[in-house]
Amino acid sequence: MHPLLGQFLEKWVWPTAPGAGGALFRRRITEEKCLKGWEVALHSSLAEIEKGLASGTDDWQRRVALGGYAGEGVQMSIKQMSAQLLSVDLTEQEKYIDLQRMRARQVWDECKHSKLHAEVLMAKGWIKDERELLQNSAAHTQPLPAYFGLSMMFPHIHPLARAAQHYFVEAIACLGIAAYIHLVDDPMTLHEHLSQRDEELMHFMEGKYKIDTYCTTPENQKPVEDTLDFLLHRLRVSL
């Protein structure tokens, strides 16, 4: 196991609040499914960063910033988070109000992250202002299955299905940021990732909280496990 993953597990994954009814379920899906996916994703991030550093140019940083903007741009973030807010029926709003508050907060977080990517592109002279990105397809195209594939399906699945995405995918975001901090010393690229670190961790902890708190019955565990299986399949992780 890579030390960065080991540190993340010890600090954020394994600790459990007393009386968390879904903790054993979370432990099982972590050990059976998440660990291998996280390890694969971390090694992929490290390899991509090392390849970029060895290229002798900073064009790889431009591609990272464009990709980050595509995944966290204002338009993308508002649409994605709105779909997740709508996954809770009006009759269940009180029951899941903690989820709704966290999701509403994430709208702001993701929009802020898109500005960080735009700042890198402007600081390095690749664009003059953010408006230029409206004409750049690379700033609006990304392959992640967690967005307009799965996210648009959440209203038709279960309010807790999103917990799998938060727990699994946001952990990958945290590990990716750790990889950049570990390998890169470019000030703007560090700023781009350091400024997201605590918020991405909060998104992961949201997934952890939802699973530990709400996934106490087979009925509530099934949509989380099914969604996680879908994500692993799309990321081509064989268990």
In the chain, which ranges are continuous DSSP H helix? 3-8, 23-29, 35-54, 59-72, 74-85, 97-123, 161-183, 187-214, 218-234
**CA nearest to 163, candidates 107, 84, 86, 72:** 84
Q: Tell me, what's the pLDDT at 71? A: 77
Q: Tell me, what's the pLDDT at 50? A: 96
Q: Do 25 and 155 contact (CB within 8 A), yes or no?
A: no
Which one-letter DSSP state was computed for residue 13?
Answer: I
Q: Tell me, what's the pLDDT at 133? A: 87
Instruction: Enumerate residues 6+ apart whose C-beta is below 8 A from 181.
Output: 190, 193, 194, 197
Q: What is the mean pLDDT of each run of 10 residues along the chain (239 residues)?
A: 96 94 96 94 95 92 87 72 76 84 79 85 91 84 59 66 87 95 91 88 92 95 90 70
User: How far is Cα 64 from Cα 121, in angstroms, rounded to an integer?
Assistant: 10
User: How far is Cα 192 from Cα 65, in angstroms, rounded to an integer?
Assistant: 8
Q: Tell me, what's the pLDDT at 149? A: 53
Domain 22-234: which CATH number of 1.10.10, 1.20.1250, 2.60.40, 1.20.910? 1.20.910
Write down the pTM of the prediction: 0.87
Q: Do 227 and 158 contact (CB within 8 A), yes or no?
A: no
Q: Tell me, what's the pLDDT at 154? A: 58
Residue 124 φ then ψ, to 5°: -95, 5
Residue 7 φ then ψ, to 5°: -65, -40
**CA nearest to 62, candidates 146, 149, 122:** 122
User: How far is Cα 42 from Cα 124, in angstroms, rounded to an integer?
Assistant: 27
Six-digit token string for 190: 């560090």
Instruction: Enumerate residues 6+ apart whose C-beta is below 8 A from 14.
Output: none
- How far CA 83 is from CA of 28, 97, 98, 157, in Å, comes to 29, 16, 16, 12
Hey, where are the domains in the chain? 22-234
| Radius of gyration from C-alpha coordinates of the chain | 18
